[in-house]
Amino acid sequence: MPNTGRTWKTIVQDVVEKQPRVFHLADILQHADELAAEYPANRFVDAKIRQSLQVLRDQGVLRFLGAGRYERLDAQPAFSPFFDPSLAGGYTNRAQVARVLIETWAEMNLYCLHCTRDALARLPPNTPVADFACPSCDATYQLKAKDGRFGSLLIGAAYHTTLRAVREGKMPAHILVEFDRRRATVVYADGLPGALIDEARVIARRPLSLNARRAGWQGCNIDVSGLPSVAIVQPAGTDRTDARRHWRTLTTKP
Ligand SMILES: [Zn+2]
């Protein structure tokens, strides 16, 4: 079975849905080989399954009965601002820590702003410009995460690749996630339509020096000052129907 772009949460949820109302952890773990086939590079299949079950519990989809037993509640998934800080255990670089913590959180929680799809699919790691796509409407998303607040400049991808995406009308929506690592929670997440990022907002950075590992590579900054965005997470949380309605007002041309 090839990698279909389904997230761990979706994969585990599909297995959970086929279980009787009350089931045992072992009933899910016996699907581990089958689940791992979608993510052959992942060595932590059991841990990913347990973590996905915890998220489904936090979201009210199931509850733990103790002694490895679970009950399905058949509820719609709710949003959780919390992430698992232990995922970043092996990393010291701040950018890597942000990426590891928030990519997993995004897999579990992000939904499409453009249509009613409740989960996004992660794109292959080398996909230029975008990180996630909606399997229903093909909207694409670029995730930016920071422990703290963003300023008006975001660090973008390669300059010419970004400029080409802008010119071809293919800039993905940008999801800006500001988190608090110490409290293991996302504080703010905002969605910003890609179409609002025009050429003037893509600012070339100096090419890397000849001594650098990727000598001559040129990145860019993206100026997002003054751009409107939709709140996905704020300290009180927002309703997704309202977020989608607000999103349409930003993305529908008059
Ligand atoms: Zn969609």
pLDDT, position 189: 94
pLDDT, position 1: 39
Tally the domains of the chain. Answer: 2
Distance 217 CA to ligand 1 centre (A): 33
| Domain assignment of residue 13, given as a range | 8-72
Same domain, 90 and 196: yes
**Mean pLDDT, rounded, for 132-143:** 90
Residue 24 structure tokens = 């045992």
Per-residue pLDDT at 233 exceeds 80: yes
Q: Is residue 118 part of a domain?
A: yes
Confidence of residue 193 (pLDDT cuts 50, 70, 90): very high
Distance 13 CA to ligand 1 centre (A): 19
> Residues with Cβ < 8 Å from 176, sequence gap 6 or more?
144, 146, 150, 154, 188, 189, 190, 192, 224, 229
Distance 133 CA to ligand 1 centre (A): 8
- CATH at 17: 1.10.10.10
**Mean pLDDT, rounded, for 46-67:** 84
Same domain, 123 and 41: no
What average pLDDT does the structure give for the chain?
A: 86
Q: Which of 22, 27, 116 is nearest to 73 (CA)?
A: 22
DSSP bridge partners of 141? 132, 173
Q: Compute CA distances 9 → 35, 50, 120, whole Å.
A: 11, 10, 11
| CB neighbourhood size of 130 (10 A) | 20
Confidence of residue 154 (pLDDT cuts 50, 70, 90): very high
pLDDT, position 78: 63
pTM of the model: 0.67
Same domain, 164 and 199: yes
**Mean pLDDT, rounded, for 53-81:** 80
Distance 142 CA to ligand 1 centre (A): 14
Q: What is the DSSP string of 154-179?
A: EEEEEHHHHHHHHHTT-PPEEEEEEE
Same domain, 145 and 194: yes
87 within 8 A of 101, measured Cβ to Cβ: yes
Q: Is residue 37 part of a domain?
A: yes
219 within 8 A of 199, measured Cβ to Cβ: no
Q: Which residue has the higher pLDDT, 186 or 88?
A: 186
Q: Compute CA distances 110 → 63, 72, 239, whole Å.
A: 22, 22, 13
Q: Is residue 2 part of a domain?
A: no
Q: Is residue 18 part of a domain?
A: yes
Per-residue pLDDT at 220 exceeds 90: yes
Same domain, 92 and 218: yes
Per-residue pLDDT at 158 exceeds 80: yes
Amino acid at 90: G
- CATH at 197: 3.40.210.30
Per-residue pLDDT at 218 exceeds 60: yes
Per-residue pLDDT at 5 exceeds 70: no
